[in-house]
Amino acid sequence: MKLNLKVWRQKNNKVKGAFKAYSVEASEDMSFLEMMDVLNEKLIADKEEPVAFEHDCREGICGSCNMVINGKPHGPQKGTTTCQLHMRHFKDGDDIVIEPFRAAAFPVIKDLVVDRSSFDSIIQAGGYISVNTGQAPDGNAIPIEKDLAGQAFDAATCIGCGACVAACPNGSAMLFTSAKISHLGLLPQGEVEHTKRVKNMVETMDKEGFGMCSNMGACEVECPKEISIENIARMNRSYIASVFGAAE
């Protein structure tokens, strides 16, 4: 299948970028990143600069394959990362526009690669448990109500890709932050530092330049792991309690 690509090219965040047109031959069995590999092989053969894009596991786990494809973070397939998107979801002769995640807190490093270290700052502010838990306990040693365990597990599936930020018109990171807060705070091991954790992570999120929640729900729709916006409501309740010293 022949595809017509419009790819965002930008040397660094100091200069203006622009779309550049390319054509590429791809198989419908290829993943989207494999198609990008074919494009880069062609560019290298033609003595041109290959397109910089980020990837690691290519198994939908690491969250690094952050691209906006035809206006949608990670592309048209619901609940799918860019690396797990296959070319069979496109047709011969299709025009495909590829650009980086757009957010003030995600400056472009080069081409399709953005700096998501602001997420690391949020995690460092409290996305961990620092109490002494001793030796590794048996998995069933602490009784946990099944529904709470399920909610915590669902929140923990967040891979920190940033699609929620790219989808939000305000560039909000509240879905990401709330997922990290929920997956620790819902479990007994994380309750000890919950109040401090919520306050620190939310305040760091604001300092990093992310916007407020737009209440549109686009983050949940575009999230490749389909994280629920119920986590945002839970985080807001916890933050109010942490600031005013009230119990949830």
Output the pLDDT for position 139: 62
CA distance 242 to 172: 21
DSSP calls for 92-115:
TT-EEEEE----TTS-EEETTEE-
Q: Which residues contact 6 (CB under 8 A, 6 or more apart)?
A: 19, 20, 21, 22, 95, 96, 97, 98
CATH of 2-109, one of 3.40.1080.10, 3.30.200.20, 3.40.50.2300, 3.10.20.30: 3.10.20.30
Average pLDDT along the chain, 248 residues, taken 10 residues at a time: 97 94 96 98 97 96 95 96 96 97 96 97 91 69 88 96 97 97 92 93 97 95 97 95 72
Q: What is the pLDDT of residue 247?
A: 47
CATH class given for the domain over 116-244: mainly alpha
Exposed/middle/buried for residue 92 (C-beta within 10 Å: 0-12, 13-18, 19+): exposed
* Fold match between domain 2-109 and domain 116-244: no
pLDDT at 245: 77
Q: Where are the domains of the chain?
A: 2-109, 116-244
